[in-house]
Chains A and B, each alone.
Chain A
Amino acid sequence: MNPEIKSYFPILNQEINGHPLVYLDSAATSQKPTPVIEALKEYYESDNSNVHRGVHTLGNRATEKYEGAREKVQQFINARSTQEIVFLRGTTTAINLVAQSYGRANVEEGDEIVITYMEHHSNIIPWQQLAKERGAVLKYIELEEDGTISLENVRAAITDRTKIVSMVYVSNVLGTMNPVKEVAKIAHEHGAVMMVDGAQAAPHLKIDVQDLDCDFFAFSGHKMVGPTGIGVLYGKKHLLEAMEPVEFGGEMIDFVGLYDSTWKELPWKFEGGTPIIAGAVGLAAAIDFLQEIGLDEIEKHEHHMAAIAMDKMSAIEGLEIYGPKDPAKRAGIVTFNLKEVHPHDVATVLDMSGIAVRAGHHCAQPLMKWLDVTATARASFYLYNDESDIDRLVEGLRSAKEYFSDVF
């Protein structure tokens, strides 16, 4: 990876608690490069207007930018058409839309919804709620000991009663990359649809929704160097067409009568209210930035970072790393615990050294239970991290260990 990439991220050029910042929390949210910040600034300074109103020039410019962003996303994930790209607030909103619209219309009493133990809360609770409402059964695919998913367990969980399978592509805790393409095939054999939570995948791997043959795919802009508040739901056209909107109001309507209304065509029927225009513009700039570097290059870099981090961190006595030991099986996420030091305390000590990591349950309480821990610390790497960041982390962890061993 080009070492100059770091210089595109102004936020990284600062000191935290007297030390140069090392940002290792990109799985929570990524930092933003200058071209994305500039795109937002330019949009607000030159083009800001509401979209799809058509008459004045600014309105046209804003609409062109907004719909241009949709084309960019379509190409980015290789969807067949822009009609399959719905702009929403983020992955959470996208999964909720599918649960509330597709789910309510298609899941009956006694039907099954299948997820896994490694889901983020946003890919658990919408299904819990749907299952409760419909009297459906929520089933969990068991994990292997190293936190991976075997197709054998997938086959054991999915039956002809299964209507929806929803699975995370890359785990935000274990960094595991799941075989979603193969799972989609199994789901389809049983007549179920396959939803993929791509929040941790889209920033790091090349996504091809046609190749995965998933029915729905959700991701968030802010985890892939884009702004917060913009996300994408991809859905196969024939599925989205049959689905009812869940938000009603301006922007999504065709004709409004006193007692009845009709909806716009795809994808706008799902985009009630003034859309997330600046967010979409920022997301388009983020995609340009990532593609310029190359998603393959980014993925390679992350495997490399995970391999080095795991190697160096394992040398610290009493440090346990969760998830697959083989770096090829994981993205740039390393979740760990330091023996006898609570992860919050680890994170505070690291913060005092200018190093930002996440500590807690990472919005994945069922997985924490499976790991038999209440909390963990997590270092997540992205394209702007390099080996010197890992060295700082390892040094910080050694200091944390030392600091707390003095106490005990």
Chain B
Amino acid sequence: MSFNNLDQLYRQVIMDHYKTPRNKGALEQDSVNIEMNNPTCGDRIQLTLQVEDGIVKDAKFDGEGCSISMASASMMTQAVKGKDVDTALKLSGIFSDMMLGKEYDDSVDLGDIEALQGVSKFPARIKCATLAWKAMEKGVHDEEKS
């Protein structure tokens, strides 16, 4: 059976992140420690960030979930590490637009994240891809409040 459509979803770079996730684990020194679930399917992510002077100095994630959610978490940590908080949130907005199939700002280098574009064609899987980003957004906002 051929699965051309599936290849749009499960791009090689995604499977690479799933197989060998970057930044897996928990930071020993963190300023943000947030857990988030996808209540409809049981995916879970624990995200630790070290934010200093408005910069995401380090990021790690742990959790359980499907290939898309775990690859997306891996890519997200990779993307926001070293960026200032505003840029991290901007990336999150771009990612959200990408998932919703909207036009998105491509003036920013998205790196591996762009591989997740195909997820927008699989509505049931969008929540898998956005979980880590939502955790990051909430974590950063909580940090700002405190």
Contact = CB atoms under 8 A, between A and B. Distances in A.
Interface of A: 17, 342-345, 347-349, 351-353, 359-361, 365, 368, 374-375, 395, 399, 403, 407-408
Name the residue in A359, A365, A374 with the highest tally of chain B Cβ atoms < 10 Å from its Cβ.
Answer: A374
B51 interface: no
Interface residues of B, number: 23
Nearest to A375: B42
A359 B41 contact: yes
B71 to A, nearest CB: 11
Name the residue in A343, A344, A345, A353 with the highest tally of chain B Cβ atoms < 10 Å from its Cβ.
Answer: A344
Contacts, number: 58
B140 to A, nearest CB: 26
Given A17-B5, A407-B19, A344 B44 contact: no
Contact of B128 (A344, A351, A399): A344
B66 A344 contact: yes
29 contacts: A342-B65, A342-B66, A343-B66, A344-B41, A344-B43, A344-B66, A344-B67, A344-B125, A344-B128, A345-B67, A345-B68, A347-B124, A348-B6, A348-B122, A348-B124, A349-B6, A352-B6, A360-B42, A361-B41, A368-B42, A374-B42, A374-B43, A374-B64, A374-B65, A375-B43, A395-B1, A399-B1, A403-B10, A408-B19
Nearest to B41: A360
Interface of B: 1, 3, 5-6, 9-10, 15, 19, 40-44, 64-69, 122, 124-125, 128
Contacts of A345: 10, 66-68
B54 to A, nearest CB: 35
Given A344-B67, A365-B42, 11 more contacts: A344-B68, A344-B69, A344-B128, A348-B9, A349-B3, A352-B5, A360-B42, A361-B42, A368-B42, A374-B44, A407-B10
Contact of B3 (A342, A343, A344, A403): A403
A75 B19 CA distance: 56
A64 to B, nearest CB: 41
Given A345-B67, A361-B42, A353 B9 contact: no
A299 B1 CA distance: 34
A343 B67 CA distance: 10
A359 B40 CA distance: 10
Contacts of A353: 1
B26 to A, nearest CB: 18
Contacts of B66: 342-345
A338 to B, nearest CB: 12
Contacts of A17: 5
Nearest to A399: B1
Nearest to B125: A348
Contacts of B122: 348
A374 B63 CA distance: 10
Name the residue in B6, B15, B67, B125 with the highest tally of chain A Cβ atoms < 10 Å from its Cβ.
Answer: B6
A172 to B, nearest CB: 15
Contacts of B10: 345, 403, 407
Contact of A360 (B9, B19, B40, B67): B40
Contacts of A375: 41-43
Name the residue in A348, A361, A374 with the highest tally of chain B Cβ atoms < 10 Å from its Cβ.
Answer: A348
B64 to A, nearest CB: 5
A365 B37 CA distance: 12
A345 to B, nearest CB: 5
A287 B122 CA distance: 36
B17 to A, nearest CB: 12
Contacts of B44: 374
A96 to B, nearest CB: 19
A98 B137 CA distance: 41
A348 B68 CA distance: 11
B40 to A, nearest CB: 6
B93 to A, nearest CB: 25
Contacts of B65: 342, 344, 374
